[in-house]
A and B are shown apart, each in its own frame.
Chain A
């Protein structure tokens, strides 16, 4: 049983790296060309002070792309997975508080974002997706060594 796990684990790690990295790359890539919209999406959560929300909006897409490239290439997988996991945790907290407070916003995870009509929110799907990605990140931080990575 143990040996079988040792055979599959590197491939699972590779798969998870590509999933988490791929999602983060898409998320960052779709936002990085629309930074005003990205900042708007962060402000709409009504958590951070305006100037800080704008700072996050302008820089978060780049950070997502950075973590994604590290994960896909397999560089500093453990640290990148932890960083990705922290992001997912913060996203879950952010979306949950928006849902609880009754804000009507789109999460802006893959571009877009900001206020939407009441009843057009998709908080449950967004939170579930980020939970799955959080688990992926946790597994990667535990088993960072995988196939086709520059780490060793």
Chain B
């Protein structure tokens, strides 16, 4: 780094060549830590191709957990289990979407983001574990019903998520170990990376057939949401 010539006559403490060494030493250490930090940040936010994926997940779907892949309309929901607005969205349209999925009238891809923090990662991982038990939808609903009013309070941890799983019938040893081990943690990170690439800047973000619906009018109004689905090809 370029330096201006030193001016000894300006104010300051005692001078000495040892201090100059200290200066470079400290600068070097700070620089090293920062470079490692940046490198780690970039690396950990890259897609991990070795990640264990839940079985319903395809990379082509943006790593989302998908239901009924061959039906139109296709609904992509980007959400964070800790996001209060996502809870609103779920409370308005959640039951309706679940019903349409069961009736195989729409395809839905759930992208579980985790930008709010560690408990979002734990919840998303547990949801993927529940998906392996064919219990994603009830678990998804239950997570929003039990969402904490504040973020990252410790409400969701391995123990409580196992307990929530048991309430919807995910009781297998595989589920318990999946939640405890964070089997799908790398997948959760991949979902986040994919959201970053697709410019998803808030949650929930909902696309119907690849086009975002109108945030002001179509998210939190069941009739308007239904109309958007019909416009996207939903039949009766």
Residues of chain A at the chain B interface (Cβ within 8 Å): 6, 9-10, 32, 34-37, 39-40, 43-44, 50-51, 54-55, 58-59, 62-63, 65-66, 69-70, 73, 75-76, 78-79, 114-115, 145-152
Instruction: Write 22 A-B pairs (CB below 8 A) sorted by A numbering.
Output: A32-B41, A34-B115, A39-B196, A40-B196, A40-B201, A43-B196, A43-B199, A44-B201, A50-B197, A50-B199, A54-B45, A58-B45, A62-B41, A69-B30, A79-B2, A145-B12, A147-B13, A149-B13, A150-B22, A150-B26, A151-B12, A152-B12
B23 touches A151 (CB 8 A): yes
B115 touches A37 (CB 8 A): yes
Flag whether B173 is at the interface (Cβ < 8 A). Answer: no
Flag whether B7 is at the interface (Cβ < 8 A). Answer: yes
A51 touches B1 (CB 8 A): no
Point out the residues of chain A lying under 8 angstroms from B150, CB to CB: none
Point out the residues of chain B lying under 8 angstroms from A79, CB to CB: 1-2
Contact check: which of B12, B19, B42 meets A58 at CB < 8 Å? B42
Minimum CB distance partner of A10 in chain B: B11
**A70 CA to B28 CA in the complex, in Å?**
11
Flag whether B117 is at the interface (Cβ < 8 A). Answer: yes
Minimum CB distance partner of B36 in chain A: A62
Contact check: which of A59, A147, A148, A152 meets B41 at CB < 8 Å? A59
Point out the residues of chain B lying under 8 angstroms from A70, CB to CB: 27, 30
B26 touches A78 (CB 8 A): no
Contact check: which of A10, A66, A115 meets B12 at CB < 8 Å? A10
Is chain A's binding surface mostly helix, strand, loop or mixed? Answer: helix
B192 touches A62 (CB 8 A): no
Minimum CB distance partner of B113 in chain A: A36
A75 to chain B, nearest CB (A): 5
Flag whether B69 is at the interface (Cβ < 8 A). Answer: no
Point out the residues of chain B lying under 8 angstroms from A66, CB to CB: 30-31, 34
A41 to chain B, nearest CB (A): 8
Q: How large is the interface on B (under 10, 10 to 19, 20 to 34, 35 or more residues)?
A: 35 or more
Point out the residues of chain B lying under 8 angstroms from A114, CB to CB: 201-202
B11 touches A9 (CB 8 A): yes
Flag whether B37 is at the interface (Cβ < 8 A). Answer: yes
Minimum CB distance partner of B35 in chain A: A62
B13 touches A148 (CB 8 A): yes
A55 touches B11 (CB 8 A): no
B residues 8-36 in Cβ contact with A at 8 Å: 8, 10-13, 15, 19-20, 22-23, 26-27, 30-31, 34
B34 touches A36 (CB 8 A): no
Minimum CB distance partner of A64 in chain B: B34
B204 to chain A, nearest CB (A): 12
**A36 CA to B196 CA in the complex, in Å?**
8
Flag whether B114 is at the interface (Cβ < 8 A). Answer: yes
Point out the residues of chain B lying under 8 angstroms from A58, CB to CB: 38, 41-42, 45
A15 to chain B, nearest CB (A): 14
A62 touches B34 (CB 8 A): yes
B197 touches A76 (CB 8 A): no
Minimum CB distance partner of A79 in chain B: B1
Flag whether B217 is at the interface (Cβ < 8 A). Answer: no
A36 touches B115 (CB 8 A): yes
